[in-house]
Amino acid sequence: MNKIINILLLTLIAASALAATGEETYKTTCANCHEKGLAGAPQIGDKKAWGKLIKEGQVPLTADGYKGVRAMPAKGGRPELTVAEFGSAVVFMANQAGANWQDPDEALLKKISARIEKHAQAKK
């Protein structure tokens, strides 16, 4: 199982070099809901709404959002979105509300992916 996760992580990291920036992913995917706060999505730049999420931390926020949370579909409704691309979009949105996060590096992607996998195993 660890070998599979490591292969997936390496694939994700390699793909992230070609991936869209967080702002680009936000504009093409996330803005549909986060620009106007549709279905309870925290609006971009809303320090109060995002402040609560930022306090949860980058790993939980990214992993939980990636798998889908509340009215938000998994991967923001884009099945081809990688963890790295999604993570960069989360960083972009959180930073608009006062966070000082960096795009996920290899170590952070590993933690995010582990949380996603743990949740997937719990559902079985």
Contact 95, 52 (CB under 8 A): no
Alpha-carbon dihedral sign for residues 77, 29, 83, 87: negative
- Could you read off the pLDDT of 70-120 as tens digits, one per residue? 999 999 999 999 999 999 999 999 999 999 999 999 999 999 999 999 988
pLDDT surpassing 60 at residue 18? no
Which band of pLDDT confidence, cut at 50, 70 and 90, is reported for residue 6? low
CATH number of 2-123: 1.10.760.10
> What percent of the chain has a predicted confidence (pLDDT) above 70?
85
Contact 82, 12 (CB under 8 A): yes
Note the pTM of the prediction, 2 decimals. 0.83
Alpha-carbon dihedral sign for residues 87, 88, 94, 99: positive
Q: For the chain, what are the domain ranges? A: 2-123
Amino acid at 48: K
